[in-house]
Amino acid sequence: MKFSQGPLLSLFDNAEGGPLQQRLFERLRTAILNAAIRPGERLPSTRTLATDLGVSRNTVVAAVDRLIAEGYLEARIGSGTFVSRALPDDAMAPALRLAGPALRSPKPGLPVPAAGAEILPFRPCVPAYDQFDVDTWRKLLAKRWRDTGGLLLGRDTAGGWTALRRVLAGHLQTSRGINCDPDQILILPDRRAALEFAATLLLGAGDTVWLEDPGCNLQHLVFGNRGLHVAAVPVDEDGLDPERAQRLAPGARLALVNPGWQFPMGSTMPLRRRMAILAWARRNGAWLLEDDQDAGYRYTGRPLPSLMGLDDGERVLHLGALDQTLVPSTRLAWLVVPEALVAAARSLRNRMEISIPLPEQMAVHDLIAEGHFSSHLRRTRRLYAERQQALLFSAERHWHGLLTLEAGNAGLHILARLAPGLGISDNSLSTQAQAARIDVPALSHYRHGSTPVGDAGALVLGYAAFTPEKISRAAERLAQVLNRSLSRGEERFGTSRRLVPVT
Cβ neighbours, 10 Å, residue 401: 12
**How large is the angle between the packed helices 162-176 and 358-369, nearest 10 degrees?**
40
The dihedrals phi and psi of 232, each to the nearest 5 degrees, come to -85, 105
Query: Residue 150: its pLDDT value, please?
Result: 59
Give the span between the Cα atoms of 26 and 347, in whole angstroms.
Answer: 34
Query: Residue 10: its pLDDT value, please?
Result: 45
Whether a cis peptide bond, with omega within 30° of 0, leads into 214 is yes
CA 131 to the chain's CA centroid: 16
Task: Please state, in angstroms and as integers, the Cα–Cα distance from residue 137 to each residue in 144, 320, 370, following that order.
Answer: 11, 20, 12
Query: Residue 383: its pLDDT value, please?
Result: 93
| Distinct helix (H) and strand (E) counts, the chain | 15, 12
Each residue's pLDDT tens digit, 401-453: 899 998 888 889 999 999 988 888 999 999 999 999 999 999 999 999 877 75
Helix (H) or strand (E) holding 212: strand 208-213
Question: Domains along the chain?
Answer: 6-83 (1.10.10.10), 138-373 (3.40.640.10), 375-493 (3.90.1150.10)
Query: Residue 428: its pLDDT value, please?
Result: 92
The dihedrals phi and psi of 307, each to the nearest 5 degrees, come to -60, -40
The three-point CA angle 414-419-423 to 5° equals 125
Fill in the DSSP letter of residue 235. Answer: P
Exposed / middle / buried, residue 427 (Cβ in 10 Å: 0-12, 13-18, 19+) = middle
Give the span between the Cα atoms of 329 and 238, in whole angstroms.
Answer: 32
Query: Residue 17: its pLDDT value, please?
Result: 53
- What predicted TM-score, i.e. pTM, was given to this entire model? 0.75
Per-residue model confidence as pLDDT tens for the chain (503 residues): 444 444 454 444 444 455 677 778 878 887 787 777 878 888 888 888 888 787 888 788 878 877 876 678 888 777 789 888 766 543 333 332 332 333 444 443 344 444 345 789 999 989 998 898 889 999 998 888 887 665 666 677 789 999 999 999 988 887 788 889 999 999 999 999 999 999 999 999 999 999 999 999 999 999 988 889 999 999 999 999 999 999 999 999 999 999 988 999 988 898 999 999 999 999 999 999 999 876 568 887 666 778 998 987 799 999 999 988 888 888 899 999 999 999 999 999 999 999 888 888 999 999 988 888 888 888 898 899 999 999 999 999 999 989 999 888 888 999 999 998 888 899 999 999 999 999 999 999 999 987 775 678 999 999 999 999 999 999 999 999 998 888 765 444 344 444 455 44
Query: Residue 100: its pLDDT value, please?
Result: 33
Give the up-direction half-sphere exposure of residue 385: CA atoms within 13 A in the CB hemisphere: 12
Query: Residue 319: its pLDDT value, please?
Result: 96
- C-alpha Rg value of the chain to the nearest Å: 25
Give the span between the Cα atoms of 53 and 67, in whole angstroms.
Answer: 18
Helix (H) or strand (E) holding 460: strand 458-462
Strand ranges of the sheet holding 403-405, from the earlier edge strand across to the other edge:
403-405, 413-418, 458-462
* Contact of 354 with 197, CB cutoff 8 Å: yes
